[in-house]
Amino acid sequence: MGNETSPIVSIATVTKRFPGVVALSDVSFDVGEGELHSICGENGAGKSTLMKILCGVITSYDGEILLKGSAIKMRDTREAEDAGISIIHQELNLVEELSAAANIFLGREMTTSLGLLDDIAMEQAAAKLLTELECHVSPSALAGSLRVGDQQLVEIAKALSLEAEILIMDEPTSALTEAEVERLYRVIERLRERNVTILYISHKMDEVFRLSDRITVLRDGQHVKTLERAETSPREITHLMVGREIDEGNLRADRELGDVVLEVNGLSLPWPGHARAWRLQDISFQLREGEILGIAGLMGAGRTELLECIFGASNDVPQGEMLLSGQPIAFRHPSEAKDAGIAMVTEDRKRLGIFAEMSVGENISICTLDACARAGFVVNASEQASVQQMVEHLRVKTAGPEAAITSLSGGNQQKTIIGRWLLTHPKVLLLDDPTRGVDVGAKAELYRLMDQLCREGIAIVLTSSELPELLTVSDRILVLAEGRLTAEFDRDEATEQKIMEAATEGAGSTQSA
């Protein structure tokens, strides 16, 4: 496909500098009309920056963008949308205080003949779009009340409503579980039938290879190569991305488990006003020192809620018993959990994770500041040393600890948050989909780091929307379906198939709710 079609977009010697960083350096390649063109590269390679230039978010750069052969210069996203270019951002971009429908039609509100906002018409149109995406949330629900996966579908609905000719998707599946990813693929298929050109960013090689006509690799802001999908392999792409071989090694070899550190008995979480009545029902398990316990399940199964209950972060009060090192615990606030030695990395870094107005260094040290102060250290020196160490340890790509957190690429922000919690030296580390949006190389580093932490006696509970990841790192895997525990597998007996079967068990209605 790729080569024979005429280019709809030509990127010509595009360079973008930020203070201290060259995000894009002399990048040139073409995108064919109607093709699905994937952009691959490590965290910080420049993928999102390039897409932001294409959709009018970034307006100052060197070089040229040609649309159907003519140079264009977008002054804002509105101009890009008028030119037929829409984007679904990596960091969700909804106004949380507005309804799903209002978000979809933001800036293009429908009005009645009297000039009033026509909420009914907008909600009807939104319902139609959302139904097309097989998304079953109410159009009048506040965007902020939706979970990440549904928010993402609202953004896609917005792009659909704009009837974009060129649709940019920046890691659209990173918050979705398997069933929802399949649903998105069906949407993409329908868009392609309408000859929509799709620029697709993903760190997941399986989906890049399933969807793409062509693949462009960026590394350190430079264009490395553009290849026909049929003529390359995941191995080659990964190699071009990182410029070295990645060794995942045998992470779990002879790791020894210690005493039970966390015990959960008959945990239930009420769900007031909901037909199912319980978000979680009668969950029991034990976690040992040095163990990685994987939690699998579809979106809505209760994975996040389970971690939130342990961390004292759930909205409703859980029932049942939890013990930490044999002592009963019932945290009412995450700060109590933190003091007791529990840390949690949340799935939605924008809403719950990063402090957008602070620097990289402050974001890393924010949870440990008082520890430094209490131990009588000069806060700044020790803080700086441990922050610097963490930045190096996790290979966070940043101009320095003083840089604004918002200047980091998505994956590097995620590494920053993980680093923050590691500095608290927790007994139990709760990781809610921690590698979402993290590139292959950094993922391998994180797996190694998790393994190392376990060897030091930390216990980890991990959820992931990627089954291969759970199978790679977990000692044991629990499967949740609609708030109940439906299976438990040892690492040796677990397979993707068995997990998927348990995850959809008893679910006549597997829709995410």
Ligand X SMILES: Nc1ncnc2c1ncn2[C@@H]1O[C@H](COP(=O)(O)OP(=O)(O)OP(=O)(O)O)[C@@H](O)[C@H]1O
* Residues forming the site for ligand X (CB under 6 A): 18, 21, 23, 41, 43-49, 90, 397, 407-412, 439
In the complex, least distance from residue 348 CB atom to Mg ion, rounded to whole angstroms: 16
CB 205 within 8 A of CB 440: yes
Min dist CB 400 to ligand X, Å, is 11
Q: Give whichever of 48 and 177 is closer to Mg ion, judged by the CB atom.
A: 48
Amino acid at 206: D
CB nearer to ligand X: pick between 397 and 484: 397
Site string for Mg ion, 2-41 (x = CB under 5 A): ----------------------------------------
Residue with the CB atom nearest Mg ion in the bound state: 48
* Cβ closest to Mg ion, residue 58 vs residue 344: 58
Shortest Å, Cβ 216 to Mg ion: 14
In DSSP terms, 227 is beta-bridged to: 215
Closer to Mg ion by CB, 91 or 132: give it. Answer: 91
- For 336-359, the DSSP string reads HHHHHTEEEE-S-IIIII--TTSB
Judged by beta carbon, residue 179 or residue 446, the one nearer ligand X is 446
DSSP 256: P
C-beta closer to ligand X: residue 340 or 404: 404
The piece of 16-24, 46-54, 299-307, 476-484 that touches Mg ion (CB under 5 A) is 46-54
Closer by beta carbon to Mg ion, 53 or else 337: 53
Encoding tokens for residue 119? 């909420």
Burial class (CB in 10 A: 0-12, 13-18, 19+), 396: buried
Residues numbered 89-128 forming contacts with Mg ion, rule: CB under 5 A:
90
Our finding on whether 151 is near Mg ion (CB under 5 A) is no
Q: Exactly one of 9, 36, 48, 94 binds Mg ion (CB under 5 A); which one? A: 48
Query: For residue 498, what are the CA distances in angstroms to 72, 107, 467, 493?
Result: 52, 47, 11, 9
Minimum distance between the CB of residue 286 and ligand X, rounded to whole angstroms? 36
Q: From the list ligand X, Mg ion, none, which binds 34 (C-beta under 5 to 8 Å, kind-based)? A: none
Question: Stretches 13-21, 48-56, 75-83, 151-159: which one binds Mg ion (CB under 5 A)?
Answer: 48-56
CB closer to ligand X, 177 vs 409: 409
Tokens of 233: 């392999």
Complex with ligand X: residue 359 or 412, whichever CB lies closer: 412
- Is the Cβ–Cβ distance between 16 and 53 less than 8 Å? yes
Q: How far is the CB of 47 from ligand X (least distance, A)?
A: 3
Residue 41 Cβ vs Mg ion, minimum distance, rounded to whole Å: 9
Taking CB under 5 A as the criterion, which residues in 295-354 touch Mg ion?
Answer: none
Ramachandran region of residue 433, left (φ > 0), alpha (ψ -120 to 50) or beta?
left
- State the binding partner of 430 from Mg ion, ligand X, none, CB within 5 to 8 A by kind: none
Q: Name the CA radius of gyration of the chain, rounded.
A: 23
- Report the residue number, 137 or 396, with the smaller CB distance to ligand X: 396
Between 387 and 458, name the residue whose CB sits nearer to ligand X. 387
Q: Supply the DSSP symbol for 145.
A: G
Residue with tokens 């971690």, as numbered in its chain: 307
Can you give the length of the chain in residues? 513
Among Mg ion, ligand X, none, what binds residue 355 when CB lies within 5 to 8 Å by partner kind?
none
In angstroms, the Cα distances linking 137 to 91, 95, 131, 149, 360 are 20, 16, 9, 11, 36
Among the residue ranges 34-42, 86-94, 270-278, 346-354, the one whose residues contact Mg ion (CB under 5 A): 86-94
Would you say the C-alpha torsion 403, 407, 411, 417 has a positive or negative sign?
A: positive
Residue 397's binding partner among Mg ion, ligand X, none (Cβ under 5 to 8 angstroms by kind) is ligand X
Nearest to 33 by CA among 193, 164, 197, 167: 197
As measured in angstroms, the least distance from the Cβ of 416 to ligand X is 11
**Alpha-carbon gap, residue 31 to 37, rounded angstroms:** 7
Residue 407 binds which entry of ligand X, Mg ion, none, CB below 5-8 Å type-dependent: ligand X
The mark string for 390-409 relative to Mg ion (x by CB under 5 A, - otherwise) is -------------------x
Give the sheet arrangement for strand 428-432, strand by strand: 342-345, 428-432, 459-463, 292-296, 476-481, 484-490
* 14-46 exposure pattern, b = at least 16 Cβ within 10 A, e = fewer: bebeeeebebbbebebbbbbbbbbbbbbbbbbb
In the list ligand X, Mg ion, none, the entry touching 202 (Cβ below 5 to 8 angstroms by class) is: none
Q: Does the footprint of Mg ion cover residue 410 (CB under 5 A)? A: yes
* Residue 23 interface partner, choices Mg ion, ligand X, none, CB cut-off 5-8 Å depending on type: ligand X
- Nearest approach in angstroms of CB 410 to Mg ion is 4
Asked if residue 13 lies in contact with residue 50, where contact means CB atoms within 8 angstroms, the answer is no
Taking the C-alpha atoms of residue 158 and residue 133, their distance in angstroms, rounded to an integer, is 11
Q: Which residues bind Mg ion (CB under 5 A)?
A: 48, 90, 409-410
